[in-house]
A and B are shown apart, each in its own frame.
Chain A
Amino acid sequence: MDLSSTAQNDHLIVTVNAPRIDAAAAIQFKDAMRRVTAEGPDHVILDLGQVDFVDSSGLGAIVAAMKQIGPDRRLDLAALRPEVDKVFRLTRMDSVFVIHDRVEPAGPAD
């Protein structure tokens, strides 16, 4: 699965460049997340702005990705489209993740 990542200040922003995290994509998503988060900042933000469909397999893969980055690191979500936001709300997974409305543009370096 096509993920791109950018270290920004103290964050690692991981962008999903695909429209679906579904049963057909779940394993590739988990593997790709493991690769891109292997190193880098402890605070990871997953940008789902291009994703318009997540099923329960995709939801499980996002939970798995959150667990596999390790107990001392943090995975937040950002830029959820309404259909994806609905899945997180229905399953109450919106209480598990910190969800940002959008990915913050890069600020001036301190």
Chain B
Amino acid sequence: MVSPATDLAVRAMLADLRRWLAARADGAPLHSVELGVAEALNNITEHAYAGQAPGPVHLLAVLRPGRLKVRLQDHGAPLPGRVAPSGERPPTDPARDTLPEGGFGWFLIRDLANGVDYRRAGGVNRLMLTFCWPPAGG
């Protein structure tokens, strides 16, 4: 599917993806997929297209037994250094006034997805997230 990279369009894409996956894959980790893809889409909305009109984001999902690959493509700004962040968990022990209010996105993506592959080529960001689960009945 193709959608503008806005917060409300992201919500609709996630609902479509979740419905699509729930109807086809018994035992798929629906929440992990929704949250991991949500964080990736939010990054595109907030960072890749920051300071410009929201561009399109393309989502392609490929399902195999026990495995989902979600490919996201946008033509916004590349990730810093053209690499996917390692996603360290922000510290939660500082004083209340300095507790982090952000920075959890890449941590969650790295934690929830079994595979993360990012490429920048021809002005296009391509992020591939892979989610795996034990096949039903196996």
Partner-B contacts on A (CB < 8 A): 20, 22-24, 53, 55-57, 59-61, 63-64, 66-67, 71, 83, 86-87, 90-93, 95-96
Contact = CB atoms under 8 A, between A and B. Distances in A.
28 contacts: A23-B10, A23-B42, A24-B7, A24-B10, A24-B11, A53-B31, A53-B34, A53-B35, A55-B108, A56-B39, A56-B42, A56-B102, A56-B104, A56-B108, A57-B102, A60-B100, A60-B102, A61-B101, A63-B99, A63-B100, A64-B101, A71-B97, A86-B31, A87-B108, A90-B107, A90-B111, A92-B89, A96-B99
Contacts of A23: 7, 10, 38, 42, 45-46
Interface of chain A, main secondary structure: helix
B92 interface: yes
A53 to B, nearest CB: 7
Which of A20, A23, A57, A66 has the largest number of chain B CB atoms within 10 A? A23
